[in-house]
Amino acid sequence: MAHPRSALLNVMTAAAQKAARRLVRDFGEVENLQVSKKGPADFVSIADKKAEETLVKELQKARPDYGFVLEEGQDIEGKDSSNTWVIDPLDGTTNFLHGIPHFAISIGLVRDSEPYAGVVYNPVTDEMFWGEKGQGAFLNGRRLRVSARNSIGECLFATGLPFLGMEKDGDRYMQRVDAVSKTSAGIRRFGAAALDLAYVAAARFDGFWESGLQSWDIAAGTVLVREAGGFVSDIHGKRNMLENGTVIAATDKMHPELFNLIK
């Protein structure tokens, strides 16, 4: 039986679906542009901005007083200072640009500085992940639970590759990858942090870590993992993910082991 969504989540999923329609059209275009000399990069940044405009318009209509933290545009100060939308209109831009159907719209609601509700939507697979504090996490109406694997040798982890030049401690990153891959069933790098977190919530991955992220990459996914029974911290074991852009998300069983390997 599909789980009923709250009014808040109905607003968020409707906004994601509306923005997705155009993104899917644009994605089809990008696949055609791949072969052109001009290159699709500009086209994608326009697609990104258009998706963001749609999200802002739809969310403002429903909740006029909430503020926004945006990837593409200027942040918008809301009358209601305790509720802020934190939005990534297109997480996985590089995948999108290359015609790889692994990208998502991520909408997080941060309430009183804590991630409160989240929607992560992959429009190509039509997978809508949603969660709200205290209400659980769902994929298209099916309740999600993090994986129950308790031996690290069977666990599959995800991480993000730091962008060239962004990562001052590239060596440290490779050491972490090395440590985790030696003890686990493998590591995946799929290029969309919001989906990586959603996949942890859906028990597809047993854990995920990355640094150098922005708040809009993780606000929604954090809610999904926690509501599916997982554990999310920053790289220091605290709860300051949104401020310092580092995240370790895993099942409650695997979080301490992954945390120690990464430290």
When the pLDDT of each residue in the chain is averaged and rounded to a whole number, the result is 92
Tell me the pLDDT tens digit for each residue of 139-173: 999 999 999 998 999 999 999 987 655 556 677 88
Look up residue 155 and give its two tokens: 């666990």
Domain 152-262 has CATH 3.40.190.80: yes
Query: CB under 8 Å, gap of 24 or more: what pairs does 59-62 form?
Result: 59/11, 59/12, 59/15, 59/85, 59/107, 62/11, 62/15
Q: How many CB atoms lie within 10 A of CB 68?
A: 20
Find, among 96, 92, 86, 91, the residue nearest to 12 by Cα.
86
Residues 44 and 97: their CA atoms lie apart, in Å, by 6
Q: Coil, strand, or helix at residue 29?
A: helix
- pLDDT category at 1 given cuts 50, 70, 90 is low
Q: Give the tens place of pLDDT for each residue, 77-103.
A: 999 999 999 999 999 999 999 889 999
Q: ∠ CA 81-86-90 to the nearest 5 degrees?
A: 160
> For 46-64, how does the pLDDT look when each residue is reduced to its tens digit (9 = 90+)?
899 999 999 999 999 999 9
- Report the top-level CATH class of 7-143: alpha beta
Q: Where exactly are the structural domains of the chain?
A: 7-143, 152-262
* 2-32 pLDDT per residue, tens: 678 999 999 999 999 999 999 999 999 887 7
Q: Is the pTM of this model over 0.75?
A: yes
- Check if 7-143 and 152-262 are the same fold: no
